[in-house]
Amino acid sequence: MTASTHFFLRRVAATLAGLALAGSAMAQAFPTKPVTLMVPYPAGGPSDSVARSLNNTLGKHLGQSVVVENLGGATGGIAAQKVLAAPSDGYMVFQGSPNELILSPLANLAVKFKSEDFRLVQMIESTHIALVTRPDLPANNADELLAYARKQAAAGKPITYASVGPGSFYHLLGEHLSKVTGIPMVHVPYKGAAPANQDLLGSRVDIFLAPYGKNYEEFHKQGKLKVLAMLNRERMEGVKEYPAISESQSLKDFTFNTWSGLFVKKDTPEPVVQALHKAMSETLGDAQVRANLEANSRVPAKPQSLAAVSKVYTDGTAQYRAIAKSIDLKPQ
């Protein structure tokens, strides 16, 4: 080995060691200021409730406060793009789901990012999907709803279904319901679950395939709306009072749920990602956080490795793109 080669190798080794030390220092330093948790829907909705169930505990494990910011619109795309426009330093993280990060880019021409622009740091929860109707809709189960919808469509007055925006998971569910039953239905998009629920309570929209929250339980008991079924294969803990969709005659296989997780920009430094992953994993182990999520009818996630959650996101991207293709979803 020549002297110049030996010198070059020593320089490379020193550089790599320096990078390792810098990464370690970055992990130890992060965060040195408050972290923003971006929620892509207005305050008061189900996603906001999830964020406020865990932000204080996440802040405790990070050693800095975690501030919730709400920004609705474009099926979560506006909030996602704001995160992408921020520095890749982990100080603005995204509470997202397939709804905003996989489906929104497929449906909205204004959304310019790809699913691959984000990285999943840790799962947060999975969510039951409820088949909810306006209070005065003349149906008390899924089969009666379809009979009513078929009658209305034949009369040229198709029923309406709410979603949280074009290309959202709930839009796809509505389109998929229309397709598998052969019953025309009209899509009514909103900027979030909260305004959709307002119109449902006011009987201005007929149905909502919605993320289930405890508010529905109260509204159902008070007769302000109807929860006809949960899109589950069987009655599950926390929502056993409602029929599983598999108990219907017409929609036995119409079973779906969704999930949310903590995301960062894909080029966020690895030490920062690891720090966020560790803090979120510890947060999920907190009994009060789990109780808060369960109180909102969420199923708290079990902490997984970064490799495992990366596979969840990759597999989910493929699955939801396939559903979008099956209903011929076009960006508009």
Considering the four listed CATH numbers 3.40.50.2300, 2.40.50.140, 3.40.190.10, 3.40.50.11540, the one that applies to the domain covering 129-257 is 3.40.190.10
- Give the per-residue pLDDT at 17: 46
Q: Within the chain, which residues score under 50 in pLDDT?
A: 12, 16-27
| Residue-level pLDDT at 118 | 98
109: DSSP letter: T
Residue type, 270: E
Taking Cα atoms as reference points, which of 298, 208, 215 lies closest to residue 261? 298
Phi/psi for 27 (5° steps) reads -60, -40
Beta bridge partners, 41, equal none
Map out the domains of the chain as residue ranges.
Answer: 13-18+23-126+258-326, 129-257
Output DSSP code: residue 302. Answer: P
CATH code matching the domain that covers 13-18+23-126+258-326, chosen among 3.40.1190.20, 3.20.20.70, 3.40.50.300, 3.40.190.150: 3.40.190.150
Q: What is the pLDDT of residues 185-214, one digit of tens each?
A: 999 999 888 899 999 999 999 999 998 988
Residue (of 185, 189, 206) closest to 75 by Cα position: 189
Pairing of strands 226-230, 298-300: unpaired
Q: Is the peptide bond before 158 cis (omega within 30 degrees of 0)?
A: no
Q: Report the alpha-carbon distance of residue 145 to residue 126 in Å, rounded.
A: 26
Q: pTM for the whole thing?
A: 0.74
Residue 10: per-residue pLDDT: 61
Question: What pLDDT score does 15 carry?
Answer: 52
* 183, 146 contact by CB (below 8 A): yes
Query: What's the pLDDT at 165?
Result: 82
Q: Tell me, yes or no, if the two domains 13-18+23-126+258-326 and 129-257 fold the same way.
A: yes
